Amino acid sequence: MMSPFYTAEHDAFRDVMRRFVEKEITPFAHEWDEAGEFPRVLYRKAAEIGLLGLGFPEEYGGIAADQFMKIVASQELARAGAGGVSASLMSHTIGSPPIARAARSEVKARVLPQVLSGDKISALAITEPGGGSDVANLATKARRDGDHYVVSGEKTFITSGMRADYLTVAVRTGGEGAGGVSLLLIEGDTPGLTRTKLKKMGWWASDTATLHFDECRVPAENLIGEEGQGFKIIMQNFNSERMGMAAGCTAFARVCLDEAIAYAKERKTFGKPLAQHQVIRHKIVDMAQKVAASQAMLEMLAWRLEQGESPVAEICMMKNQATQTMAFCASEAVQIFGGAGFMRGIKAERIYREVKVNAIGGGTEEIMKDLASRQMGL
């Protein structure tokens, strides 16, 4: 689709990304989904084309990137129709920004180059068994003991949780509420840390885990930012995370649209291609309309972010718009495929299973609406 927001540089990166996805991900997506994981070497291959470094400081191996370069990355990854691969491969985009933004310089220098080169995996650990988006009331505790923090508690639904080398963990170092929350960088081989793999409705190729911290001793220098400033740092992550999810969901919806069009032209019923039945044509137009509207909203918000704005309400609404578009297009695509759409191995079926995780992750639809209404002064 033509858009005034993309330059020759964006287009060149899109070409690189498309070749990477077509060669390194799409042919193996079904196999990896069935296996419940993908090869760790994919991180290094992604780093070689500059994917992992987008938007991170150049001094640590990052690459300068605007909002539209990030959209290109998210949407080209989505062309494989493998949300689990995208989620784990890019888990550093939520796990490492707090490190880049607020960790001590020596911690940045030690950790970020390893992550951005694909040698190490970074993950974010906030959600707990007793609460999801209610960050201000998390229960995992970290008490100071000399030059260490001693961490006890649990985190769950953690993307890349099974094999992450670095975990950015929200902990309670102080009293109740947001003011008692801090962030700690906890290394994956820390004694007392154990992990339990979780089975999911979708995102099969993405490892997801519950993390158990049993008196884990973490060097005090691994504190990210200052004590009691963790909530603020976490909130700074959300705009980027939700924009990334919105970009991906809109692209997954487009994959469903493209797959449905191709199948409707090929499959014949009652003596003619599906595409010649009016009801099918109308379904496809409805899908195309929603994808175009979501993409336009996404790009306008990206432009506003580039101008220095922080349109929190609109980003919350964008996240809902994109996940609802994905849900609609996935459902309609499977309906158009009929029985074939119920069979494992096609993109539309895989995407259909992954609808709900996007509507829940990064803040549920209900939370997005509540945040948006508050920003609107309601």
Q: How far is CA 138 from CA 214, 228, 358, in A?
A: 16, 13, 22
DSSP E strands, the chain: 122-125, 141-145, 148-159, 166-172, 181-187, 193-197, 208-219, 223-224, 268-269, 272-273
pLDDT score, position 60: 98
As a whole number, the mean pLDDT across the chain is 96
241 classed as catalytic? yes
Give the domain CATH number at 296.
1.20.140.10
Residue 134 in this model has a pLDDT that exceeds 90: no
Q: Please compute the mean of the pLDDT values over residues 194-219 and round it to a whole number.
A: 97
Parent domain of 148 = 122-231
Whether residue 1 lies inside any domain: the answer is: no
How many independent structural domains does the chain possess?
3
Give the domain CATH number at 56.
1.10.540.10
Same domain? For 249 and 308 the reply is yes
Tokens at 329, concatenated: 């297009």
Q: Which carries the bigger pLDDT value, residue 284 or residue 362?
A: 284
Same domain? For 266 and 361 the reply is yes
Q: Are strands 122-125 and 141-145 parallel, antiparallel or unpaired?
A: unpaired
Same domain? For 90 and 127 the reply is no
Residue 133 in this model has a pLDDT that exceeds 80: no
pLDDT tens for residues 231-244?
999 988 888 999 99
Residue 131 in this model has a pLDDT that exceeds 90: no
For residue 103, how many other CB atoms are within 10 A of its CB?
24
Rounded distance between C-alpha atoms, residue 367 and residue 354, angstroms: 19
Same domain? For 245 and 217 the reply is no
Same domain? For 264 and 282 the reply is yes
Is the torsion defined by CA of 272, 269, 328, 204 positive or negative?
Answer: negative
Tokens at 210, concatenated: 């519950």
Residue 132 in this model has a pLDDT that exceeds 90: no
Q: Report if pTM > 0.85.
A: yes
Please state, for a pLDDT cut of 70, what percent of the chain lies above it: 99
pLDDT score, position 236: 86
The domain boundary residue, chosen from 117, 144, 176: 117
Same domain? For 242 and 361 the reply is yes
Confidence bin at 136 (pLDDT 50/70/90) = confident
Residues 6+ apart with CB under 8 A from 296: none
Same domain? For 111 and 142 the reply is no
Same domain? For 288 and 309 the reply is yes
pLDDT score, position 186: 98
Same domain? For 327 and 239 the reply is yes
For residue 59, how many other CB atoms are within 10 A of its CB?
10
Please identify which of the residues 128, 227, 241, 314 carries the catalytic annotation.
241
Rounded distance between C-alpha atoms, residue 186 and residue 164, angstroms: 10
Same domain? For 247 and 322 the reply is yes
The domain boundary residue, chosen from 231, 256, 278: 231
Please state, for a pLDDT cut of 90, what percent of the chain lies above it: 95
pLDDT tens for residues 70-117?
999 999 999 999 999 999 999 999 999 999 999 999 999 999 999 999
pLDDT score, position 2: 79
Same domain? For 221 and 236 the reply is no
Give the domain CATH number at 189.
2.40.110.10
pLDDT tens for residues 241-294?
999 999 999 999 999 999 999 999 999 999 999 999 999 999 999 999 999 999
Q: Please compute the mean of the pLDDT values over residues 288-317 and round it to a whole number.
A: 97
Query: With contact defined as beta carbons under 8 Å apart, do 63 and 53 qualify?
Result: yes
For residue 144, how many other CB atoms are within 10 A of its CB?
12
Whether residue 2 lies inside any domain: the answer is: no
